[in-house]
Amino acid sequence: MKGFLRYSQALAGAAALALVAPAMARDGTTPRATAYAEAAKLPDWIGIWYPDWTASFASRDNVPKLTPQAKAAYDAYLESVKEHGPNQEAQAQCLPPGLPGILQQPYPIEILYSPGQVTVLTEAYSQVRRIYTDGRPLPAEPDLFFNGNSIGRWEGDTLVVTTVGLNTSTYIAPGIRHGEKMRIDEKIWLDKPGLLIDELVITDPETLTEPYTVRLSFKLDNSYPIREYVCSENNHLVTGENGANIDLRLENDEVVEDPFGEPAE
């Protein structure tokens, strides 16, 4: 009975402490209210951003400079495209494109702030990217993730991000894979009200002979919320001997009516 009373008293004490100090962080060091107040001082990027294609098309002639081994692999890819069309196996399996490809989709992103972290939600493939700004170092032996491991810091109104540990099944650009040592150094800033610039400088000793820069632009538009993206729903891509192709799921002997012609008998 005494043990039960002591347990009840401990619970009551914990509840009272939670009432008088609700803003204390889990580690007991930094009040959450103070941390959120600091986050509120950051440049106001919170909202939904759509790709600004007019700005992105200006750099479409920008191509990576490849090592001889990477060039040979890329040439083989181009020959395969001529014969079989673009390889869409990843899309057929609903695998996300990773960085930088996830930021080049025709879908919006949403940016959120919390203490020590900038979160980027991407409608495409329902991806979540976490950029840690709490002072932690880059992982020495990072796990390989589709969006990598991102560590950032604020330099004035610019977010400077380094990303390592990117899944090697993803691409630098269509047909150009990368190695485990690929690194992305990124700067994100507000160029003018409503226009966000994201500049990514990619280095990879296995693939690139010099850094490859991708510059992306996004326009603020909170008119429509981020929608749910379920890749496997209504996905008509199937994989086969020659890669992935569209399967319209029609039997060979099925009669399909021409909507602009005479009804089928």
The whole-number pLDDT of residue 33 equals: 81
The whole-number pLDDT of residue 262 equals: 61
Instruction: Show me where the domains of the chain are located.
Output: 47-240
For 115, half-sphere exposure in the C-beta direction (CA atoms, 13 angstrom radius) is 13
The whole-number pLDDT of residue 7 equals: 40
Closest CA to 142 of 181, 170, 179: 181
**Do residues 165 and 184 lie in contact, with contact meaning Cβ atoms separated by under 8 Å?**
no
Chain segment 200-230, per-residue pLDDT in tens: 999 999 999 999 999 999 999 999 999 999 8
The whole-number pLDDT of residue 28 equals: 54
The whole-number pLDDT of residue 57 equals: 54
pTM: 0.77
Phi-psi region of 105 (alpha: psi -120 to 50; beta: other; left: phi over 0): beta
What is the spatial distance between Cα 165 and Cα 258, in angstroms, rounded to a whole number?
51
> 45: which 2 tokens?
């990027």
- Cβ burial of 209 (10 Å; 0-12, 13-18, 19+) is middle
Architecture of 47-240 per CATH? Beta Barrel (2.40)
The whole-number pLDDT of residue 13 equals: 44
Rounded to 5 degrees, what angle do the CA atoms 78, 182, 243 make? 30
Extract the residue ranges of the chain whose pLDDT is less than 70. Answer: 1-30, 55-60, 235-265
DSSP 109-132: EEEEEETTEEEEEETGGGEEEEEE
